[in-house]
Copies of this chain bind each other. A is one copy, B any other.
């Protein structure tokens, strides 16, 4: 089904952002106030019917919010220094990921949770993980893992480790101090997978 959303006019641009801001606030206080079209519109300063001028459905609002956050992640993502020692690259990459979870946990958890039921969000999220995987696969190849396509090639290991990192940070982000603790655990595992397998902590 084609999206109903029209090209946004300039005043509408502000309204679109207000709608997305309102949706994000509701995600953060989901226990206290369930996210409905009514509550999103109220938070954006319009009535329910008006919201459909900008978005075709509540799912489209969520997809746009996730897209906005993912775009922000890309802008904030520091370019990796791929000439540094591999373990330093890995450590820095994990730390950067932890930072994005710290700063955008609510929307990132929403991306994980709504991905299965909103195809657009699911694809956005998988693409985000795929981008990370591509970079980290090159790092693993540089470290000496086989540059091949099989289940034990660098690409497969990188993908599996990126999903591990996503899943563990997803859980850790709900607990105070969880991300710092989990960062050390993620670095430890990534490093142990590298050839030579020396743990980072020793």
Contacts and interface: CB of A to CB of B under 8 A. Distances in A.
Interface of A: 109, 113, 116-117, 150-152, 156-157, 160-161, 163-164, 166-168, 171, 181-186, 188-189, 192-193, 195-199, 201
Contacts of A116: 109, 113
A184 B151 contact: yes
A113 to B, nearest CB: 5
A163 B167 contact: yes
Contacts of A182: 151, 160
Contact of A164 (B109, B160, B183): B160
A18 to B, nearest CB: 26
B160 A161 contact: no
A70 B171 CA distance: 21
Given A152-B199, A193-B192, A164 B157 contact: no
A192 to B, nearest CB: 5
Contact of A193 (B152, B184, B189): B189
25 contacts: A109-B116, A113-B116, A113-B117, A150-B184, A151-B181, A151-B182, A151-B183, A151-B185, A151-B188, A152-B185, A152-B188, A157-B188, A160-B186, A161-B164, A163-B164, A163-B167, A163-B168, A163-B171, A164-B167, A164-B189, A166-B167, A192-B197, A193-B193, A193-B197, A196-B197
Contacts of A157: 185, 188-189
A193 B163 CA distance: 16
Contact of A197 (B163, B167, B168, B197): B197
A166 to B, nearest CB: 7
Nearest to A165: B164
Contacts of A197: 192-193, 195-198
Contacts of A185: 151-152, 156-157, 160
Contact of A152 (B109, B152, B163, B184): B184
Nearest to A164: B164
